Amino acid sequence: MFAKIPAPAAKHILNKVPTVAQVSLAVIPFSFKAKAITELLKVMFKEQMEDEELEFLKDKWVRIEVKDFNLRFEVSFDKQWRVREPLKADVTFSADSASLIKVAAAKEDPDTLFFQRQLQIEGDTELGLEVKNLLLSIELDEMPKLMKASVDKLAYTVEILEAKSRQIA
């Protein structure tokens, strides 16, 4: 669908989507966002939950910041996922939405994005490494087919739009 889009239109879309997302997310109560995030985490880390591999998150808070969407939240795990508004995190991961989508789709390695300064990690270094390794342990093939297909399609779209927008840079 986006393969034939002109470069100026691709750049325009990449610039506008975050603005639309910010406005949309601003009107959604945090409780709804927290519920959606919790359900997403349950699906993404189902295997790790069952294998009790999330013990390192007990009494620890990880802040996630999607910079271009102005979305910030903190997560922890103690037999169940806990999501809250930013308060005081032990470690913070921040990136733009395109980078996070590529990590979710396993199109980009968190280490690569970190060294390219597209992913920032601040705070407890040991906890940050454990979270990064947790992200790398996600088996996309184990996710529900619709979720995997959606993430793959979204990552493909982002890659096309970025490639097209670089043509006029």
Q: What is the pLDDT of residues 8-63, one digit of tens each?
A: 887 888 888 888 888 999 999 999 999 999 999 999 899 999 999 999 999 999 99
The answer to whether 38 touches 65, Cβ cutoff 8 Å, is no
Distance CA 160, CA 155 (A): 9
The answer to whether 18 touches 68, Cβ cutoff 8 Å, is yes
Please tell me the predicted confidence (pLDDT) of residue 168.
75
Instruction: Please state the domain extents for the chain.
Output: 7-162
pLDDT, tens digit, 9 for 90 and up, residues 99-123: 988 888 888 888 888 889 999 999 9
The answer to whether 22 touches 69, Cβ cutoff 8 Å, is yes
Please tell me the predicted confidence (pLDDT) of residue 149.
86
Select the more confidently predicted residue: 80 or 136.
80
Please tell me the predicted confidence (pLDDT) of residue 153.
86
Please tell me the predicted confidence (pLDDT) of residue 64.
96
Per-residue confidence band for 97, with pLDDT thresholds at 50, 70 and 90: very high
* DSSP string across 69-131: GTEEEEEEESSSEEEESSS--SEEEEE-HHHHHHHHTTSS-HHHHHHTTSEEEEE-HHHHHHH
Across residues 58-78, what is the average pLDDT?
96
What is the CATH topology of the domain spanning 7-162?
Nonspecific Lipid-transfer Protein; Chain A (3.30.1050)
